[in-house]
Amino acid sequence: MTNALTDLDQINAELMTGSARNPFGRDVAPGDGVSGEIIAVIRRHRHNSQGQPLFWVNRRPQVAATGDPVIDSQLILETDDRADDEDDGLAAVTMDRDVQRAIRAGVRRARANGVAIGGRLDGLLFVGPAEGGNGRVYDLGSYTPPA
């Protein structure tokens, strides 16, 4: 199965994530979190640090001529958090399996069918590393669907 991204998808990914910070980067500490309104949903082809596109080969992302593209999904949140005067308050939450697990539970508690533009995530927190060191644990306080 291949996922084709249109030129508009690529443009929107660059446009919406240009200044959006990742609230759960490498330096995240337990208790760090983010809240905000979902203003965009981005899907884009992942690239390595040299800018080369990655493809799934033997269940691993690799630079290759064949294979399905590695696609990342992100929710772009508009938050009230500002690190400085240049910060526009956008946060890009990458939807890895651990974040998905927390958001899925919050969406189910809200009895919604999924996330939507205009919906709000409140209290998406990094709890800590998963037991055994494989992955991370997140928790979502609540999801509020758009009105």
- The mean pLDDT of 74-94, rounded to a whole number, is 85
Query: What pLDDT score was predicted for residue 1?
Result: 39
Structure tokens at 60: 């691993």
Q: How far apart, in whole angstroms, are the C-alpha atoms of residue 141 and residue 33?
A: 10
The pTM of this model reads 0.80
Query: What pLDDT score was predicted for residue 42?
Result: 86
Q: How far apart, in whole angstroms, are the C-alpha atoms of residue 109 and residue 101?
A: 13
Query: What pLDDT score was predicted for residue 4?
Result: 53
Q: How far apart, in whole angstroms, are the C-alpha atoms of residue 41 and residue 45?
A: 14
Show me where the domains of the chain are located. Answer: 7-144
Closest listed residue to residue 115, CA positions, set 90, 88, 93, 138 = 93
Q: For 93-145, write each residue's pLDDT tens digit.
A: 999 999 999 999 999 999 999 999 999 999 999 999 999 878 999 999 999 99
Query: What pLDDT score was predicted for residue 144?
Result: 97
Residue 2's pLDDT band, with cuts at 50, 70 and 90, is very low
Q: How far apart, in whole angstroms, are the C-alpha atoms of residue 100 and residue 97?
A: 5
